[in-house]
Amino acid sequence: MFSAMMPKKNEFFVQFNSHADRCAIAANAMMRMMSQLGRSADEVNRLIQEIDQAESSGDDIEHDTIVMLHKSFITPIDRDQIHMIASGLDSILDRVQDVGESVALYDIKEATPEAREMAEIAADAVEKIRKAVALLDNLAETTTALQYCKAVDELESKADKVWRAGMSRLFREEKDPVQLIKLKAIYQILEDVLEAAEDVSHTLEEVILANA
């Protein structure tokens, strides 16, 4: 009975890695989706489905992680930290799914260069989150993990500049008010992905430093 409350040390880290993998899969699909707008509607729809599948799988992983947390007597890191990591990764997936759903809902036919670049930056940031998560249980790699987290902050700042440039051009050049509203919303949702990734990077930094 008591042994059931003592998970293997790496079980939570296995869950984190699986969850972060889904985030990277979804973000990569989002990036490819944005590049396919105006080229292949079928491929865009397929990639939206790929994002949805990754998000659904991520929900299952988060649920399993929280169940494991409540059943565990001892955890490898602070219980609140476990919850924050799982919740943060879920937030990334939700924001990426928002991008796919908005592309379909707003019937976006073509992405601007800035939207494509923001999607690329977001995918890069989420990939660095995945790499940092993979090093969480390796104390010898804390420096590298922290470098990945710092890189996410830098990418978020880079995306801010792209967002401002895109918004400026949008209000200068877009004559269709409906299209302007649609693209403005897409920019904001892409920015939300970057902010979710940055939030997770800060959580990971706190966890790494607290347990180093």
Query: Which one-letter amino acid corresponds to residue 134?
Result: A
- 196 contacts 91 by C-beta, under 8 angstroms: yes
Nearest to 127 by CA among 176, 46, 194: 194
Q: What is the mean pLDDT of the chain?
A: 92
Residue 170, SS3 per DSSP: helix
pTM of the model as a whole: 0.92
Cα 54 versus chain centre, distance? 11
- Mean pLDDT of the region 74-103: 95
Cβ-based neighbour number of residue 20 at 10 Å? 27
Query: Half-sphere exposure of residue 175, counting CA atoms within 13 Å on the CB side?
Result: 0
Tokens of 149: 């987290």
DSSP state of 74: S
pLDDT tens for each residue of 127-181: 999 999 999 988 778 999 999 999 999 999 999 999 999 999 999 998 999 999 9
In the chain the domains, ranked by start, together with CATH numbers, are 2-211 (1.20.58.220)
Confidence (pLDDT) at 45: 96
- Mean pLDDT of the region 64-84: 90
Nearest to 161 by CA among 123, 201, 196, 121: 121
Q: Does 5 score more than 80 pLDDT?
A: no
